[in-house]
A = this chain, B = another copy of it.
């Protein structure tokens, strides 16, 4: 992996962490957790999927622990939600939008990290989906909610699967770059949000 490519990957990953962290803080606000509870739930959601991914890849301690940059998004998300969104009524819509943003980026970075670690394409797609849905599943289990993942009227894993497959194909064919990555993220985000609106 070239330097510039790994910087793009880190940027996408941190943006995904931020989106998931906001979704965690919004759920914490809806459940009337205090600011520390909000920070904890934001951290579990936003870092959980990536920690699971890095543990499965088995290439040393997870990035969330070794690179302090990963701690900034949950801190920032907690402060933003606490001061800006605490009076917002439409928690659910916002939560779904930020969650969809995290899902769109994590299915890409999870798949790429797996391929970069030498896993086969099928395993890379599986790990991309696991990374993308893992954080949200941890959020819902930890906060004692019914996981969005299992809502029979909604599509959650399918957009992540589509994004992971597209990323794998782009990566194998050498067509993966910042532009195609943005296109995949947009497709997954639109797919997820449309599925939610039409349920």
User: Interface on A for B, CB 8 Å cutoff?
Assistant: 28, 31-34, 36-37, 40-41, 51, 55-58, 60-62, 65-66, 68, 71, 114, 117, 119-120, 122-123, 126-127, 133, 137, 141-144, 146-147, 149-152, 155, 157-158
Which residues from B are CB-within-8-Å of A142? 137, 141, 147, 150
> Which B residue sits closest to A161, measured CB to CB?
B36
Q: Is the CB of A51 within 8 A of B41?
A: no
Q: Is the CB of A62 within 8 A of B51?
A: no
A41 to B152 Cα, complex, angstroms? 12
Q: Is the CB of A36 within 8 A of B157?
A: yes
Q: Is the CB of B149 within 8 A of A40?
A: yes
Q: Is the CB of B65 within 8 A of A155?
A: no
Main secondary structure of the interface of A (DSSP, over half): helix
What are 23 A-to-B residue pairs whose CB atoms are below 8 Å?
A36-B157, A37-B149, A37-B150, A37-B151, A37-B152, A40-B133, A40-B149, A40-B150, A55-B56, A56-B65, A58-B60, A58-B61, A61-B119, A61-B123, A65-B114, A65-B123, A65-B127, A66-B123, A68-B122, A68-B123, A141-B142, A142-B147, A143-B150
